[in-house]
Amino acid sequence: MLYVIGLGLSDETDITVKGLEAVKKSERVYLEAYTSILTIGKERLESYYGKEVVIADREMVESDSDSILANADQIDVSFLVVGDPYGATTHTDLVIRARELNIPVKVIHNASIMNAVGACGLQLYNFGQTISIVFFTDTWRPDSFYDRIKENHVLGLHTLCLLDIKVKEQSIENMARGRLIYEPPRYMTVNQAVEQLLEIEENRKEGVCKPDSLAIGCARIGTDSQKIVAGTLQELLNVDFGGPLHSLVLVGSRMHEMEAEFVKEYAFNPESFNTIVKRDYVH
């Protein structure tokens, strides 16, 4: 059996009882380590599980999945995913590959940012499409996700923005020269995401991500150090959210009074927050 197991959002104790039982009986245990991160190292996982944990980087998962699936039709193998197993398409690919090899698959779910974002006070069924914001470079400044935000905006729905993670990435020069030298890990902050959104808005001028648009910055959701701040995009530019992982929610115009009341507790400036909510959001 191949077990694909969600680890939740924080540390080694967030695994479900069902997930832990599967890990303990597995002969090999892999930890997917590039679509998200835990707040702890793999040593803590190994101590808690009583098992060696093999770090599965992007190259292994995408190019060498056969090594993960080897003999999984005869033994139990666990593939651990931060959050929920279906939070990234890569894990869907692994399941499809296992099915092609007639390997039984069991998925064990857990909390992910896709549902835990409700901690910010906005109701989950008022969210539209989730989008990803990638790091800009000097030569590549993509803005296609703006169209998805606009579609949510037109419907008055909130948008969850997942922010870029760069782990075990090569520079263009090292890649061109075939040198396996990797850049230090980088995790996009709320501030960087806001800067990029405002730059796109300045170019597109469609009124979707204005400086006075309401948003909620979220950091380390599900951990003891989580931080949530609500305010205008302009206000969030200068908030220190601390270490990774960060995400950003763009507030939709169909904000409910109960949502506004809840979110107000996180307001960067409660007075201006109330004014903007009454003017542009809750009617």
Burial of 52 (0-12, 13-18, 19+ CB in 10 A): exposed
Residue 265: count of CB within 10 angstroms of its CB? 10
112 carries a ligand binding annotation: yes
Cβ atoms of residues 73 and 103 within 8 Å? yes
SS3 131: strand
40 carries a ligand binding annotation: no
* The residue type at 20: L
163 carries a ligand binding annotation: yes
Buried/exposed 238-257: b ≥16 CB within 10 Å, e otherwise: ebebeebbbbbbbbbbebee
137 secondary structure, DSSP code: -
In the block, residue with structure tokens 């709320």: 190
SS3 232: strand
Report the candidate in 106, 172, 116 with the shortest Cα–Cα distance to residue 140. Answer: 172
147 carries a ligand binding annotation: no
66 carries a ligand binding annotation: no
Which residues of the chain form beta strands (DSSP E)?
2-6, 28-32, 54-56, 77-81, 105-108, 131-133, 159-163, 165-166, 186-187, 214-219, 227-232, 246-250
217 carries a ligand binding annotation: no
180 carries a ligand binding annotation: no
Feature table: binding site: 9, 84, 87, 112-113, 163, 246
Bind-site residues for S-adenosyl-L-methionine: 9, 84, 87, 112-113, 163, 246
